[in-house]
Amino acid sequence: MLTARQALVALLTLCLASLTAPAAARAPDRGPAPVADRASPRSPVVFVHGYNADPGVWGGLRADLRADGYTDAELFSFGYDTHQSVNEVLAGRLGAYVEQVRRETGAAKVDVVAHSFGSLVSRWYVKFGGGTATVDHWVSLAGPNRGTSTAWACALWDQACRDMTPGSYVVKNLGGGDPTPGAVKYATFWSGCDEVVNPDDSVPLAGAVNTPVGCLRHNDLLGDDGTSAGVRAFLTS
């Protein structure tokens, strides 16, 4: 059980985490847009940001993918209200967004890269929303995949925080049975110095490629060169 001081620190950390994201990772972003007919061996990438954040956090990784040859017509960011329910609201909205991306690009499948809370939203879509048929690669950066104790600090009034607590309805259902179902390729990247996800090893999943990134803070994974290289290599696997 968190002390009053620990709860206050955890709350400030969780709610203000997005403000500490690397400046290079907060460039303006875009949603789906019509694209010309083209043939590409790659799946389009759908980014799903974390709690109290926005699509701008993906600026650094988007730039790295563009340097690898991706075009803006292959990179999409799902923006959403991070204070709503994973299973009742957000996963369904992500599913609709993925369908829009598939229609506009003509792609059979997409790759999903999620940070923090976005990992729960995207996992629910994959596991319970039909995503095993539409997602090729799924990547979690610092996702509270088995819950995080820091979420108790805001769970009293915030649904997303309740969803992130250890043993929540969302965490239990995602962890029940096969945590990495279907033919989707799964990967997680986690830090031993994550101040938001507690315990740190809540991120890795059985059946996924689980990569420790060293001692990085929660949002630093968004702008870390080594993490970016690992994500980009996994998307080509």
Domain ranges of the chain: 45-235
Q: Which CATH class is domain 45-235?
A: alpha beta
Phi, psi of 211 (to 5 degrees): -120, 115
Tens digit of pLDDT at every position of the chain (237 positions): 444 444 444 444 454 344 334 433 333 344 544 443 444 679 999 999 999 999 999 999 999 999 999 999 999 999 999 999 999 999 999 999 999 999 999 999 999 999 999 999 999 999 999 999 999 999 999 999 999 999 999 999 999 999 999 999 999 999 999 999 999 999 999 999 999 999 999 999 999 999 999 999 999 999 999 999 999 999 999
Phi, psi of 192 (to 5 degrees): -80, 0
pTM score, whole prediction: 0.86
| Cβ-based neighbours of 147, under 8 Å, separated by 6 or more | 164, 165, 166, 167, 168, 171, 202
Estimate the crossing angle of helix 225-235 against helix 59-67, to 10 degrees: 60
Phi, psi of 209 (to 5 degrees): -85, 110
